[in-house]
Structure 1
Amino acid sequence: MNTKQLDRIGTGKGFIAALDQSGGSTPKALLQYGIPESSYSNEEEMYTLVHEMRTRIIKSPAFDSRYILGAILFENTMDRSIDGQYTADYLWEQKGIVPFLKVDKGLADLEDGVQLMKPFTGLNELLQRAAQRNVFGTKMRSLIKEANPAGIKKAVEQQFAIGKQIVEMGLVPIIEPEVDIYSADKEASEQILKDEIFAQLSALDKDAKIMLKLSIPTVDNFYSDVMEDPHVVRIVALSGGYSQADANEKLSRNHGLIASFSRALSQGLTAGQTDEQFDALLSKTVQDIYEASIT
């Protein structure tokens, strides 16, 4: 584990940029960027276009380590290059931004009020490749729709079981049991979730380090006590469907919680903008998310 990167993620001021839309969400991400599905005829062309979009974001002067601590990549992005360097190396060596990798294969069907992660295939091989590519950590997402204690327990147990495997490979897992912001019993789900997280944290090896990516809680500063746990490097928040303005406002009320926004980060950026327009909008977005993250 790179101790310089660990220190930056654990104590640095700023937020984590999520650039990890994959498979099913890539056409939607491209459409928001102003590239319709008629612009590409196969998966390879689609991924080339999305890499061009991500390269434009990463290379922008607005994508600055003064505000951005880390960036989460999709596997396809990790395997591609920017200016002759693998993306993770470019991020760290040229930008001073810590690279993470999304490792889950998407969500399974709803059961017991939650969507667990689909079965993992080839995880060890992927983690080995990530380590070779100088990736610092990983991210994996499940989704909680209802305050169902059995379902939430299963989701957290699955996350931590795979998290331990990731820790053993020398990487820092971002464990993401998202609570649906539209859930009728979001607050009750968050209470069950917190109890389950504490149960799993207490069973970790003394030196194990993990991160958490959570929905912005209904009750302000609800996760402050989780932040104090010595295993927890940082807790980051997802925007979860809130607009950029709403997400920033809610985040700013939660001290110590920092952003790991995806859709809210790229909101308004389009392929047709000049570099000046693109950089100016991204700069304002980055600044606003940063301000909300340092409260």
Structure 2
Amino acid sequence: MNTTLLDTLAKQLMQGNKGLLAMDESTATCNKRFAELGIPQTEAYRRKYRDLIVNAPGLEDYISGAILVDETTRQSTDDGKLFIDILKQKGIIPGIKVDEGAIPMIGFPGEKITEGLDGLADRLKAYYTQGLRFAKWRAVITIGSDIPSLTCIKSNAYTLARYAMFCQDAGLVPIVEPEVVMDGNHSIQKCAEVTTEVLHTVFNALYQHRVDLEGMILKPNMILPGNDSAEKPTADQVAEATVKCLLRTVPATVPGIAFLSGGQPAADASERLNSMHKLFDDVMPWALTYSFSRAVQQPALELWNGKDEHIAVAQEALVFRASCNSAAKMGKYTAAMER
């Protein structure tokens, strides 16, 4: 394991005004979003959609790395140019989602554990040979009556640490994603309590597995009330709760934190990230950026709607959304930008 190269790569992914693009929807998730818009759920249309994304003019101005799925690593443009190669030519580092999804945790109703460790070491080595330089693994933590259990938290933390160890051994920067999901009616305070416990447990597991913390990136949730909660916190309140949680739990040696959007409306995600930088830029020891999927891609997907004649306007919407998040990373986003 070359920690110097890993540390350098992690810093490159968190550079300047840029963030990560999570274009890593599984086939099932991508097809679900297509179905909602009446787009054919086929490999050909998934390829068209990803072609639209990777070839969007100016995307490289706001995106430092793109998280792919296995299918995307083998896809190419109509003239045969691999998407991976297009990203690299643009200066966007290609990465890969390597977990195999969260399944119900036997004996723990309502809780999940993520699969994918079997054969992971060999898969990672093959991805490195293909030119991929970082990976991502998502754990799912749900808040509900008497959950999450400590067993669920510890089990997911352990698998995240094992995954991260395998990544670094193969030369890939691990993105560690313990997501406390927004499902439910819990308060923002409850989200803060659970996220604090989850992050403490995850970093303890990473330490025990001898993961190089300078050669990894954390991808957490923001601190938010559940979707069904009556609470409506301001962007500043979300920013304060989130940064305080991270300061209590994330070691200063971690080079960067890249938030997932978790189903937040696009403008809300940008505004909340912006507030964190406006209020706390002088106290945060790590770079703080975005690793959004829907909060960047959904407007473009809706405009495209599977039609070739809509590609250009969809690409403009994609790059515009990325530019809003880039401004938020610099603390320069305003609601006026949306108009």
The reply to whether TM is greater than 0.5 is yes
Q: How well do the aligned residues superpose, as a CA RMSD in angstroms?
A: 2.3
Alignment map for 1:137-148 (pairs within 5 Å): 137-146=134-143, 147-148=148-149
Amino acid at match of 1:211: I
* Structure 1 position 164 matched with structure 2 position 152: no
Closer, same or farther: CA 29–66 of 1 in aligned 2, 3 Å: same
Preserved contact between residue 192 and residue 242 of structure 2 (Cα < 8 Å): no
2:230 corresponding residue in structure 1: none
Deviation, 1:116, is 1.3
Preserved contact between residue 17 and residue 260 of structure 1 (Cα < 8 Å): yes
Closer, same or farther: CA 190–181 of 1 in aligned 2, 3 Å: same
* 2:265 aligns with one of 223, 235, 243: 243
Deviation, 1:233, is 3.1
Alignment map for 1:90-169 (pairs within 5 Å): 90-92=86-88, 94-110=89-105, 111=108, 114-146=111-143, 147-169=148-170
- The structure where helix makes up a greater share of residues is 2
Amino acid at match of 2:31: P
* 2:31 aligns with one of 21, 27, 39: 27
Alignment map for 1:205-224 (pairs within 5 Å): 205=210, 207=212, 209-218=215-224, 219-221=241-243, 222-224=245-247
2:45 corresponding residue in structure 1: 49
* Structure 1 position 194 matched with structure 2 position 199: yes
1:88 corresponding residue in structure 2: 84
User: Which ranges of structure 2 fall in alignment gaps of 5 or more residues?
Assistant: 225-240, 278-286, 332-339
User: Secondary structure of 1:153's match?
Assistant: helix
Closer, same or farther: CA 275–162 of 1 in aligned 2, 3 Å: closer
Closer, same or farther: CA 189–89 of 1 in aligned 2, 3 Å: same
Structure 1 window deviating more from structure 2 (182-191 vs 137-146): it is 182-191
Deviation, 1:86, is 3.0
User: Secondary structure of 2:94's match?
Assistant: strand
Query: After superposition, what is the alpha-carbon deviation per residue over 1:63-120, rounded to whole angstroms, capped at 9, x for unaligned?
Result: 2x2211110000010122245343222211x210011100011111143763111243
Deviation, 1:242, is 1.0
Determine which structure has more spread, i.e. the larger CA radius of gyration: 2
2:281 corresponding residue in structure 1: none
User: Secondary structure of 1:28's match?
Assistant: helix
Query: After superposition, what is the alpha-carbon deviation per residue over 1:178-203, rounded to whole angstroms, capped at 9, x for unaligned?
Result: 00123423222111012113313433
Query: After superposition, what is the alpha-carbon deviation per residue over 1:132-167, rounded to whole angstroms, capped at 9, x for unaligned?
Result: 111111011110003433321221111111211111
Q: Give, in whole Å, the separation in 2 of the partners of 1:168 and 1:294.
A: 33
* Structure 1 position 15 matched with structure 2 position 38: no
Amino acid at match of 2:325: I
Q: Give, in whole Å, the separation in 1 of the partners of 2:296 and 2:94.
A: 17
Amino acid at match of 2:43: Y
* Structure 1 position 293 matched with structure 2 position 324: no
Preserved contact between residue 114 and residue 152 of structure 1 (Cα < 8 Å): no
* Structure 1 position 257 matched with structure 2 position 288: yes
Q: Give, in whole Å, the separation in 1 of the partners of 2:296 and 2:216.
A: 24
Structure 1 window deviating more from structure 2 (213-222 vs 266-275): it is 266-275
Deviation, 1:2, is 7.1
Closer, same or farther: CA 241–202 of 1 in aligned 2, 3 Å: same
* 2:67 aligns with one of 67, 72, 84: 72
1:280 corresponding residue in structure 2: 316
Closer, same or farther: CA 175–49 of 1 in aligned 2, 3 Å: same
Query: After superposition, what is the alpha-carbon deviation per residue over 1:224-281, rounded to whole angstroms, capped at 9, x for unaligned?
Result: 4555432x23211111011111211222223442111111111122233534422322
Preserved contact between residue 117 and residue 159 of structure 2 (Cα < 8 Å): no
Preserved contact between residue 144 and residue 152 of structure 1 (Cα < 8 Å): yes
